[in-house]
Amino acid sequence: MAKVTVKDLDVKGKHVIVRVDFNVPHKNGVITDDNRVRAALPTINYLTENGAKVILLSHLGKVKTEEDKAKNDMSIVADCLAGLQSAPVTFVNATRGPELEEAVKNQEEGSIVLMQNTRYEDLDGKKESGNDEELGKYWASLADYFVEDAFGSVHRAHASTVGIPTHIPSAVGFLVEKEVNVLGGALNDPKRPFVAILGGAKVSDKIGVIENLLKIADKVLIGGGMSYTFSVAKGGKIGTSLLEEDKVDLAKEFLDKGEGKLFLPVDTVVANDFDNPTDCKVVPAGEIPDGYMGLDIGPETVKLFQKELEGAKTVFWNGPMGVFEKPEFAKGTEAICETLAHLEDATTIIGGGDSASAAKNLGYAEKFSHISTGGGASLEFMEGKELPGVAIIPEK
Ligand code: AMP
């Protein structure tokens, strides 16, 4: 990528708005995982160390009611941020107006202003999410430069992602630069063989990505709940497993197009009940007895997928192989995760979401080349779609 990056800006003494992803998980006002704040630190530290006056903007959750507003108060991030780096942090409990403007005006070089949740602006007519022209222009008026570092939000054309850079010179931060380089490398110039592994609940969520990766990857391995729609497309019996009937014809189309490169499970772990599985067994794919549902890939499928992954030089993985939240149906996801973690000389990429959680929970996070910080954004990227928050940043 040849986008302008934060390093190309002369930031000393300048106000720089950074769109970060501080959409952290939290409970009762306490952050339960501060990874997103940590992921933004390289760009924030670079700017404060180089004398910028940094203004941080992020959304936190959805804000549709006054209750959401109280629950998603960005002030919980201020202490966390202050504890993770040394620049002074001023939290402003407003998204516009004199308090915000004063705080920005009084900023010293190397200091940080953290603004209240951008989505507070959604309560009065979806101004943030609807990319209100006046709002983007107003926020832009507070700064000299804009830096996009919220990869998890770049697939959304909001006032804070697309509106601001319409009005002032802009650049990508280190996090977005890395995401786009790694994902773009896999998409545009992958070292081959390139194997994609797609799982998760539904075919409908992954149509675009399956379509694009069938064109680009050398092999596409499909597991998880969506594999049962493919099984039906092949004439199989799937009991009470997840099925999207309206996607069976599409699955047939993918099977035709992907002949020789699309690999489906050959066996599956089934249970008599989702909530209270008292009877679990492994059966061949497409032979699930009535009253049973498929909840994980079986051991023969793990072997097949391991064989197809041998020698892979690039791997993109999105979506668990089964209901990995329940230990009895997590084995397939765990085995794939372990296999990828031990692949030698390969670029291994996890496309965020549940597969990223699985890798982290299993202690393999460090073994992957890249774990994307944006589930939705990385999927749209791999679909070949343009990401509005990246597209708006100029080329060098
Ligand atoms: P996604 O967000 O599309 O990646 O889907 C992730 C969800 O798919 C997880 O919550 C899994 O529990 C669920 N999932 C994976 N395999 C199955 C399955 N065989 N049946 C039901 N849900 C599944």
Distance CA 143, CA 150 (A): 18
6-173 CATH fold:
Rossmann fold (3.40.50)
Question: What Cα–Cα distance (Å) separates residue 292 from each residue in 134, 285, 394?
Answer: 55, 12, 53
E-only strand ranges, 33-127: 53-57, 89-92, 112-115
Indicate which residue's Cα is closest to atom 18 of ligand 1.
225
In CATH terms, is domain 182-383 a member of 3.10.350.10?
no
Contact at 8 Å (CB) between 149 and 40?
yes
**Ligand 1 atom with the shortest distance to the CA of 227:** 19
Please work out whether the CB of residue 243 comes within 6 Å of at least one atom of ligand 1: no
Q: What is the per-residue pLDDT for 360?
A: 87
Q: How far is CA 23 from CA 26, 83, 227, in A?
A: 9, 18, 31
**pTM (2 decimals)?**
0.92
- CB-ligand 1 contact for 319 (6 Å cutoff): yes
Ligand 1 test: best mutation among 354, 372, 379, most atoms within 8 Å of CB?
A: 354
Which is the closest atom of ligand 1 to the Cα of 325? 12
> Measured in angstroms, how far is the CA atom of residue 182 from the centroid of ligand 1?
26
Where does the chain hold its CATH 3.40.50.1260 domain(s)? 6-173, 182-383
- Cα 321 to ligand 1 centroid, rounded to whole Å: 7
Walk along the chain (396 residues) and give the pLDDT tens digit of each residue.
589 999 999 999 999 999 999 999 999 999 998 999 999 999 999 999 999 999 999 999 999 999 999 999 999 999 999 999 999 999 999 999 999 999 999 999 999 999 999 999 999 899 999 999 999 999 999 999 999 999 999 999 999 999 999 999 999 999 999 999 999 999 999 999 999 999 999 899 899 999 999 999 999 999 999 999 999 999 999 999 999 999 999 999 999 999 999 999 999 999 999 999 999 999 999 999 999 999 999 999 999 999 999 999 999 999 999 999 999 999 999 999 999 999 999 999 999 788 888 888 889 989 999 999 998 999 999 999 999 999 999 999
Distance, in Å, from the CA atom of 199 to the CA atom of 347, rounded to the nearest integer, reads 19
